Structure 1
Amino acid sequence: MDRNYALEFVRVTEAAALASARCMGRGDEKEADHAAVEAMRQALASIQFDGTVVIGEGERDEAPMLFIGEKVGKGS
């Protein structure tokens, strides 16, 4: 069965944006980045798919997650 993931991935982006927006005005860019990455990871974990990160956040910004090669999703 084919499945369209477009809206589910829009929700991932929305979760990251909302999480980082809560940190606005505090002057702590790393806190906002961490909040966005954590929200994105949680949202990806709720989707029924088997994914692999190919452009990672972890290596570039020394973030605690979303490294290249990291598995995301609930699996298919």
Structure 2
Amino acid sequence: MRTQAGEPDRNLALELVRVTEAAAIAAAPWVGRGDKLAADGAAVAAMRNVISTVTMNGTVVIGEGEKDEAP
């Protein structure tokens, strides 16, 4: 979307920063508790929740590969 002047009406990079921020905030309570899966789960849930509010056409590719079985 663009304004009448042709400028983008939003900053996608900042919206994605908010996605990352939400994941970090959700995982923070789990730091030092020895429950990596709970931290991963909280971060992924928050990330999915916030990214679902970002209007965009595209494919999001995420993952940790074979390192572990993240949610």
On whether the aligned pair clears a TM of 0.5, the verdict is: yes
Tell me the residue number matched to 1:17.
24
Size of the alignment, in residue pairs? 63
Tell me the CA shift for residue 58 of structure 1: 6.7
User: For residues 36 and 10 of structure 1, what CA distance do their matches in structure 2 show?
Assistant: 14
Q: Stretches of 4+ moved more than 4 A in 1? A: none
TM-score (structure 2 length as normaliser): 0.71
Structure 1 segments unaligned to the other structure (5+ residues): 65-76
Larger Rg belongs to: 2
Name the structure with the higher strand share.
Answer: 1
1:7 pairs, out of 10, 14, 17, with 14
* Superposed CA offset, 1:6-56 (max 9, x none): 2111111110000000212221011101111111111100111123122x2
Tell me the residue number matched to 1:33.
40
* Fraction of identical pairs, as percent: 56
Structure 2 segments unaligned to the other structure (5+ residues): 3-7
CA RMSD of aligned residues (A): 1.8
Tell me the CA shift for residue 62 of structure 1: 2.8
Q: Kindly tell me: are residues 50 and 58 of structure 1, through their superposed partners in 2, closer, same or farther at Cα, counting changes over 3 Å?
A: farther
Tell me the residue number matched to 1:51.
58
TM-score (structure 1 length as normaliser): 0.68
1:42 pairs with 2:49: yes
